[in-house]
Amino acid sequence: MSNFLLWLVGFVFVALPSTRFYRLKTLLLAACGVKVAKSARIVSSVKIVGTGELSIGDDTFIGHYVSIFCSPPGISIGSYVDIAPNVVIVNGTHQVDMDGLHTAGKGVCNRIIIEDGVWIGASATILTGVKIGKKSIIAAGAVVNSDVPEYSISAGVPAKTIKTWNPVTKMWLKSNG
């Protein structure tokens, strides 16, 4: 992705109605190097920064004021994903350096994978290196710093799995921890 082109596209996005012209927005993001499906719906206030590979699947919705910080190796957002307002997705962090002048040491970036059908609630934070399994739900305000199993609900800081969907009984089961 081109950081400079993303910056320019940000000015165009601001001039567009928030929840209209989705196809134009996907075309503009594709011109910046984002692998984005034609049917993706991206709200104008979304902020995308970085040079990593970003892919966004079919019929995915990315809501108001979502921030995506994408460094190599990148972020993969599947199809049919719903991302609520004010979500932050960041695939970079720093090693802790207690010997240097800055505690934030060497930068580290790991791939984030958000599988198909995931629903991420408002103001959640998705941190580097996590995989969120198919059809999972991330509660509003959760901080996801480890993998989330498919067909589950995770909540809290840090996020923990609180329920898992049983496809046989078609019921949610409480998790043990």
* Domain CATH for 169: 2.160.10.10
Taking 70 as the threshold, does the pLDDT of residue 132 lie above it?
yes
Considering the candidates 20, 38, 47, 94, report the single residue annotated as catalytic: 94
Q: How many CA atoms lie within 13 A of 20 on its CB side?
A: 4
User: What is the domain extent for residue 99?
Assistant: 3-174
174 has a pLDDT exceeding 90? yes
pLDDT in tens, 65-111: 999 999 999 999 999 999 999 999 999 999 999 999 999 999 999 99
Long-range residue pairs from 24-28, CB within 8 A, at least 24 positions apart, any chain: none
Q: Confidence band (pLDDT; 50, 70, 90) for 177?
A: low
Instruction: Give pLDDT tens digits for 135-170.
Output: 999 999 999 999 999 999 999 999 999 999 998 999
Based on the structure, what is the number of domains in the chain?
A: 1
Mean pLDDT of 8-23: 92
Q: How far apart are CA 6 and CA 108, in angstroms?
A: 22
User: Would residue 102 show up in a list of annotated catalytic residues for this protein?
Assistant: no
How buried is 33 (Cβ within 10 angstroms: 0-12 exposed, 13-18 middle, 19+ buried)? middle
Q: Nearest CA to 113 among 137, 85, 148, 84? A: 148
Distance of CA 48 to the CA centre of its chain: 10
Q: Is the pLDDT of residue 63 over 90?
A: yes
Query: For residues 86 and 38, what is the distance between their CA atoms, to the nearest angstrom?
Result: 23
Predicted pLDDT of residue 49: 94
Reply yes or no on whether the pLDDT at 1 is more than 80: no
d(CA 27, CA 156): 36
The predicted model scores a pTM of 0.95
Closest listed residue to residue 111, CA positions, set 54, 35, 168 = 54
